[in-house]
Structure 1
Amino acid sequence: MKVFLSLFVIYFLAINIQINNAEIDCTIYANDLKIINLNPFYVSLNFYPSSTSIKLNYESQVTDFNIFNNVNPSSNIYCLKNLENLQLVNTNLTILPDIKNFQKLTSLLIQSDNGIIGQHLPSELGELISLSYLKLFDIKNLEDLPNEIDHLIQLRILMLQNIPNFNKIPDESMGKLINLRVLNLIDLPNLSTIPSTIKNFQSLIQFEITNTNIKNLELENLHGLSTLTIKSNSILQTIEIVNMLLLASIQIQNNNELLTLKFQNLSSLSSLTMSSNSKLTSLDMENISILQTISLSDNKQFKIATFKNLSNLNSINFSFLANFESISFENTPALSTVSITASSLSKNISFLNVPSIINLDLSGCQLTTFPESILTLKSLVNLILKVNQLSTLPLTLSTDLPNLQVLDLSRNNFQGNIFQQSPLIYLRELYLSNNSLVSIDGIGEYESLRNLDLNYNKILSIPLEIMELSSTLNTLTINYNQLHSIPYQMTNMRGLTSLIATYNNISDSERQYLYQIFNPTTIQFII
């Protein structure tokens, strides 16, 4: 009895193997519509991209077939030899060798196979010589692509996504796909390498690598690539991108083991965004002529940035870099704005041949001394150094920065009086709130000053020399200080539009008198 059962099982398996390997007899179908009608579900003749439907040509041949959420399509669909576009979404269709019948097929999408596809696709996939678009999404067991894909020389878009066991792209075969324009490798957690022959893809425009097992990524001489996305690769440690003539946009996010980045000779790169790469420590960029903006935030281990020969770089925006140590700029002639905020710039910032910086913001960088390199920025107009630990300014600040107009030193450790140093004669706006100043003697020398903020200090009085600013000073805020009065002569400051001095030590009677004498003026007066 056992022998009989064994023989029966072997016979049954042999029949299945024979069926799976045999060619489907397509001669029994009179036309394409009869093939369609044998499916065990409704197929609409009104083609719609997201429903089970077909499109017929003028000869009543099926050119487009979409199957959506119908799990058991008949294998006779392999007899639709005029098919040009096929979508299989949430079906149980086994991919048979008979797929070679689709000689006119240009687009193939297989999504959510319910585990019906095995570890390997049939080699006959390589016989789809007209195929230009191939997307495989949510395929549970697939491990690789067949070597025969080297015949798919018309393929322009290849998208592999959410294939948990996928681990191999045949290197030599992949290199033959020289017309490839889009390559997406997304959610392939077992894929550890990309083909070395990727250098052959001179027509590649868009490349995305997301959630793979790749450790080191080197891309070089992909002269057609314009968009590169690298996200959520859990063990990726190094990225080196060199000699990309058309690469315009790079996005690098959530690569938790990424340590170093190196970019060289990217002549078309115009946008670079990097965020939440928790172990990224350094960025080295050199010889990039088009790049205009760089944004880097929330990279907790980031330490060193080097920028050299970036001829069109216009702005830098770094923020929330808790371990930031140093940044250097060399030969960045177009750089106008540098913003490094909420970071620990513990060592240095250096500028060499950076002639055009207008705006520099180093707020919240834990600075204890004024960075001397700032004094080389002759074109600097706006300097923001708030929320630091500064207590002194360089004596040559006025002569070294002749174009400085806005200086924000709020929330620092300045004490006593800083106005009697070399006056900043061209300064128009000065912000000194939340320090420990007790005197503003010397303010009369700041002859271009328009806005002055002295809130939250310990200032005892306003010197009469402030009248030297009668025609220039527009606003003065001096809340939360220790004033006992305000010079009555200030009623004659013809340029003053706002004077606000609340929460001081001014008596009620003095306050009433001040309101009385300021009432005829056009000054907004609040004490």
Structure 2
Amino acid sequence: MKIFPLLFVLYLSSINVQINNAEIDCTIYDNDLDIININPFYVSLYLSLFSTSVKYDETLHVTEFNIFNDANPSSSIYCLKNLQRLQLSNTNLTILPDIKNFQKLTSLSIDIDNGTIDQHLPSELGQLISLSNLKLSNIKNLQDLPNEIKYLIQLQSLTLQNMPNFNKIPDESIGKLTNLNTLTLSGLPYLSNIPSTMNNFQLLRQLEITRTNVDNLQLENLVSLYDLKITYNLILQTIQITNMLKLYSIDIEYNNELLTLILQNLSSLLTLTISSNTELVSLDIENLSSLQTISISNSAQLKNITLKKFSRLDSLQLNSLSNLELISFENAPLLSTITITSSPRLKTISFLDLPSIKNLDLSGCQLTTFPESILKLKSLTKLVMTSNQLSALPLTLSTDLPYLQVLNLVNNKFQENIFQPPLVYIRELYLSNNSLTSIDGIGNYKSLQQLELNFNKISSIPLEIMKLSSTLTGITINYNLLNRIPYSMANMRSLKTFFATNNNIPNNERLYLYSLFNKSPIKATF
């Protein structure tokens, strides 16, 4: 009695196999609209990306078909032999060998298959000789691509994305796809090897390698590549990128095990972003002749950075490099802006042959002494060194940096008097959150226009400040120990704002100051 049910199950299984392997009979349909009408859901005749819909021509040939959030489409779809574009989004269509019927198909996109597709795609996929765009994403069981993919020689764009079991790209086969210009490998946690034949892609323009299991990546001689993104590859240890003649943008972020990064002969690179690579220790970049912008951030183990020979580099940003100890710049004739912030262990800064530097920001680096190499930046106009541990400036600052106009030293350790000898070329001076007790000598700051002195211990404003009547436009001296204000300051003819709140000025004195300054055009608070 138990044998008969078992035989019956085997009989049904054999029928199912025969059906799956058999070619679908397309002769039973009058036209393409008959084919789509038998689907168990509504199909709009007005094409939309976000609804189940088709586009057809005057001969009733369906040329585009989008199935969106509709389950269990009919396998009759494989009879749409004039189809040029097919998009399957959150649907359950099994990929049958009959896919070979799509000889005119140029674009195939499958996103969310709900486990319907098997571990392997049928070899007949390689017969889609017109295919130029292939996107496979959120396919639960798929493990690889068929070797027959090598026949898709018209393919220009390939996206493999968010497939938890995908682990193999046939190396030799994919190397035949020499017309590829866009390749995206993203969210493939079991993919451990990038095909070595990728170097055959001489027309490749955009490449993304994100969230894979690759540990070593070597890319070279992709002469048409212009945009490269390498992010969230959790065990990637080595990246070597060489001989990319047109590459203009590189984004390398969140590769937590990255130890070695080599960039060579990237003659067209314009933008380089390196961020959140937590194990990267040393970075040496040289001779990127077209590079204009570098951004490096959140790489906790990075200790040494050496940058040499950048003929067009304009801007460099380094942020939150908590273990950075040494930074060396050499031979960047057009570099105008350097920003190095939140790098508390920075000890050595070397500047050599940087004739165009105008802006330098070294905030939050906990520097205890002023780096002497800054004095070599003869074109420097703005220097920001907030939140450090500085207590003194070089005596030759004004003579060595004659073009310096803005100096921001907020939140440091400066004590007692304002700097002497005076900074005669400075126009803006920011000294809040220090421990200054006096600004005697301020009258010799002949070019000063803005002065900020909040949160110090200054007890008086010397009358010599009147020497700045023709230049000083704003002074802020809140939260100090002032007990009086020189009345003559109401006659400072260039002064527009004067803020001196939260001091020790008696109330009756404050009221008199308000009445005095209200007669002048100066906006003042006490």
User: TM (normalized to structure 1)?
Assistant: 0.92
Select between 185-194 and 514-523 the one with higher mean Cα deviation: 514-523
Describe the SS at the equivalent of 2:143: coil
- 1:217 corresponds to: 217
Letter in 2 for 1:453: E
Alpha-carbon distance in 2 for matches of 1:91, 1:352: 61
Alpha-carbon distance in 1 for matches of 2:460, 2:4: 111
Alpha-carbon distance in 2 for matches of 1:521, 1:54: 75
Structure 1, unpaired ranges of 5+: none
From the superposition, tell whether residues 377 and 25 of structure 1 become closer, same or farther in structure 2 (CA, over 3 Å). same
Residue 501 (str. 1) matches residue 500 (str. 2): yes
Letter in 2 for 1:230: I
Describe the SS at the equivalent of 1:36: helix
Letter in 2 for 1:400: D
Select between 309-318 and 354-363 the one with higher mean Cα deviation: 309-318
Letter in 1 for 2:472: L
Letter in 2 for 1:205: R
- 1:427 corresponds to: 426
Describe the SS at the equivalent of 1:351: strand
Identity rate, percent: 67
- 1:175 corresponds to: 175
Deviation at 1:409, TM superposition (A): 1.4
- 1:448 corresponds to: 447
From the superposition, tell whether residues 5 and 398 of structure 1 become closer, same or farther in structure 2 (CA, over 3 Å). same
Letter in 2 for 1:243: N
Matches within 5 A, 1:3-18: 7-18=7-18
Alpha-carbon distance in 1 for matches of 2:484, 2:315: 45
Letter in 2 for 1:268: S
Deviation at 1:225, TM superposition (A): 1.6
Check the 8 A contact 1:419/1:441 in 2, yes or no.
Answer: no
- 1:117 corresponds to: 117
Check the 8 A contact 2:204/2:225 in 1, yes or no.
Answer: yes
Deviation at 1:513, TM superposition (A): 6.2
From the superposition, tell whether residues 83 and 395 of structure 1 become closer, same or farther in structure 2 (CA, over 3 Å). same
- 2:350 corresponds to: 350
Check the 8 A contact 2:418/2:442 in 1, yes or no.
Answer: no
Deviation at 1:6, TM superposition (A): 5.1
Residue by residue, what CA displacement relative to the aligned partner does 1:354-384 show, whole Å, maximum 9, x if unpaired?
A: 1111111111111111111111100001111
Letter in 1 for 2:71: V
- 2:268 corresponds to: 268
- 2:148 corresponds to: 148
Select between 122-131 and 25-34 the one with higher mean Cα deviation: 25-34
Deviation at 1:172, TM superposition (A): 0.6
Alpha-carbon distance in 1 for matches of 2:484, 2:73: 91
Letter in 1 for 2:464: E
Select between 318-327 and 483-492 the one with higher mean Cα deviation: 483-492
Letter in 1 for 2:316: I
Alpha-carbon distance in 1 for matches of 2:41, 2:468: 87
From the superposition, tell whether residues 514 and 193 of structure 1 become closer, same or farther in structure 2 (CA, over 3 Å). same
Residue 287 (str. 1) matches residue 287 (str. 2): yes
Residue 363 (str. 1) matches residue 363 (str. 2): yes
- 2:187 corresponds to: 187
Check the 8 A contact 2:347/2:367 in 1, yes or no.
Answer: no
Deviation at 1:139, TM superposition (A): 1.1
- 1:414 corresponds to: 414
From the superposition, tell whether residues 492 and 12 of structure 1 become closer, same or farther in structure 2 (CA, over 3 Å). closer
- 1:397 corresponds to: 397
Deviation at 1:520, TM superposition (A): 5.3
Matches within 5 A, 1:233-248: 233-248=233-248
Deviation at 1:221, TM superposition (A): 1.7
CA RMSD of aligned residues (A): 2.5
Describe the SS at the equivalent of 2:438: coil
From the superposition, tell whether residues 59 and 503 of structure 1 become closer, same or farther in structure 2 (CA, over 3 Å). closer
From the superposition, tell whether residues 213 and 461 of structure 1 become closer, same or farther in structure 2 (CA, over 3 Å). same
Deviation at 1:325, TM superposition (A): 2.0
Select between 363-372 and 212-221 the one with higher mean Cα deviation: 212-221
Q: Which aligned segments of 4 or more residues in structure 1 are displaced greater than 6 angstroms?
A: none
From the superposition, tell whether residues 407 and 45 of structure 1 become closer, same or farther in structure 2 (CA, over 3 Å). closer
Residue by residue, what CA displacement relative to the aligned partner does 1:174-200 show, whole Å, maximum 9, x if unpaired?
A: 010011111111211111111111111
Deviation at 1:319, TM superposition (A): 2.4
From the superposition, tell whether residues 116 and 492 of structure 1 become closer, same or farther in structure 2 (CA, over 3 Å). closer
Select between 82-91 and 19-28 the one with higher mean Cα deviation: 19-28
Deviation at 1:83, TM superposition (A): 1.9
Alpha-carbon distance in 1 for matches of 2:37, 2:133: 27
Alpha-carbon distance in 1 for matches of 2:27, 2:515: 107
Letter in 1 for 2:17: I
Letter in 1 for 2:432: S
Matches within 5 A, 1:303-314: 303-314=303-314
Check the 8 A contact 2:26/2:76 in 1, yes or no.
Answer: yes
From the superposition, tell whether residues 461 and 167 of structure 1 become closer, same or farther in structure 2 (CA, over 3 Å). same
Describe the SS at the equivalent of 1:447: coil
From the superposition, tell whether residues 130 and 466 of structure 1 become closer, same or farther in structure 2 (CA, over 3 Å). same
Residue by residue, what CA displacement relative to the aligned partner does 1:231-250 show, whole Å, maximum 9, x if unpaired?
A: 32222233222222222223
Deviation at 1:482, TM superposition (A): 3.2
Deviation at 1:271, TM superposition (A): 2.7
Residue by residue, what CA displacement relative to the aligned partner does 1:237-267 show, whole Å, maximum 9, x if unpaired?
A: 3322222222222333333333343323223
- 1:68 corresponds to: 68
Deviation at 1:333, TM superposition (A): 1.4
Residue 161 (str. 1) matches residue 158 (str. 2): no
Describe the SS at the equivalent of 1:349: strand
Alpha-carbon distance in 2 for matches of 1:116, 1:518: 80
Deviation at 1:432, TM superposition (A): 1.6
Deviation at 1:5, TM superposition (A): 5.1
- 1:437 corresponds to: 436
Check the 8 A contact 2:481/2:504 in 1, yes or no.
Answer: yes
Describe the SS at the equivalent of 1:438: strand
From the superposition, tell whether residues 80 and 511 of structure 1 become closer, same or farther in structure 2 (CA, over 3 Å). closer
Check the 8 A contact 2:247/2:269 in 1, yes or no.
Answer: yes
From the superposition, tell whether residues 110 and 482 of structure 1 become closer, same or farther in structure 2 (CA, over 3 Å). closer
Letter in 1 for 2:124: E
Letter in 2 for 1:347: K
Select between 439-448 and 508-517 the one with higher mean Cα deviation: 508-517
Select between 217-226 and 478-487 the one with higher mean Cα deviation: 478-487
Deviation at 1:340, TM superposition (A): 1.8
Deviation at 1:119, TM superposition (A): 1.0
Letter in 2 for 1:48: S
Deviation at 1:424, TM superposition (A): 1.7
From the superposition, tell whether residues 519 and 154 of structure 1 become closer, same or farther in structure 2 (CA, over 3 Å). closer
Deviation at 1:31, TM superposition (A): 3.5
Structure 2, unpaired ranges of 5+: none
Matches within 5 A, 1:9-158: 9-158=9-158
Deviation at 1:164, TM superposition (A): 0.9
Alpha-carbon distance in 2 for matches of 1:309, 1:110: 47
Select between 307-316 and 347-356 the one with higher mean Cα deviation: 307-316
Select between 171-180 and 500-509 the one with higher mean Cα deviation: 500-509
